[in-house]
Structure 1
Amino acid sequence: MSGEGAHGHAHDDPSNEECADFLERIVRLIDNELEEGDCAIVRAHIDTCSPCLERYDLQRTVKALVARSCSEKAPADLRERVRVQIAAVQVQITEG
C-alpha cells in the first residue's frame, strides 16, 4: 500500500499541508458549524485519511468528555456565594 489517498498525497504524514487545513474544518464539522457541501468534503477526506480520522475521533471524544463534565451542577451554597460575589463586583463597578 502506498499510503496515498484519492487526492494523490501521502496521508501517513499528519503534518501534510492539506490535512492541516482540514483540522479546523473537522472541529467545525463536529460542532455542526459547516454547510452541507463542506460536510461532504470533510467526510470524504476523513474517509481517505487515517491521521485525520484519528483526529476526528479524538476531537469527538474530548468534546463528549467535556460536555459530560460540564453537566454537573454546583452545590447550592457555592452557587449562592458566587452570586453574592458577582453582585458585590457589580456594585463596585457602578460605584467606582
Structure 2
Amino acid sequence: MASTHDHGPTNEECADFLERIMRLIDNELEEGDCAVVRAHIDTCNPCLERYDLQRTVKALVARSCSEKAPVELRDRVRVRIQEIQVRITET
C-alpha cells in the first residue's frame, strides 16, 4: 500500500498499518506482509516511531513479567481492583 503522493503516506494509510505493525512485532504476519510493513516503516517516520515504542514497551513488559511483585503490593492492588469493581457495579 505505498502512497502515490509525493508527500509520503497519509494518516489513513498509516492507520491501516497500525494493526499490522503490532502483528509484525508479535511475529504474527506472513513473510510477504512483513516485507510490506517493513517497507512502509522505512518510509514513514511516525510509523517507525510507533514501531520502536511498541517494541520497547513489549520488551519492558516481557522483562517485568518475569519478576514477581512483593506480596504486600499484590494485596494492595487486588483490594484496589475490588474497590473499583464495587464502584462500577453500584453505578
> One fold, TM greater than 0.5?
yes
Contact 1:46 1:53 in 2 (8 A): yes
SS at match of 2:68: coil
Flag structure 1 segments of 5+ consecutive residues without an equivalent.
Answer: 1-5, 79-96
Question: One-letter code of the match for 2:53?
Answer: L
TM-score (norm 2): 0.67
Question: One-letter code of the match for 1:22?
Answer: F
Contact 1:11 1:50 in 2 (8 A): no
In structure 2, what is the equivalent of residue 66 of structure 1? 61
Could you say what the CA RMSD is over the residues aligned between the two structures, in angstroms?
A: 2.1
State the identity as a percent. 86
1:12-36 deviation digits (Å, cap 9, x = unpaired): 86xx111001000000000000000
SS at match of 1:67: helix
Mapped to 1, the partners of 2:43 and 2:33 lie a distance apart of 16
Counting matched residue pairs gives: 70
Matched, 1:46 2:41: yes
CA 1:12 to 1:18, structure 2 compared with 1: closer, same or farther past 3 Å? Answer: closer
Flag structure 2 segments of 5+ consecutive residues without an equivalent.
Answer: 72-91
TM-score (norm 1): 0.64
Structure with higher helix content: 2
Contact 1:11 1:51 in 2 (8 A): no
Matched, 1:8 2:4: yes
Larger radius of gyration: 1
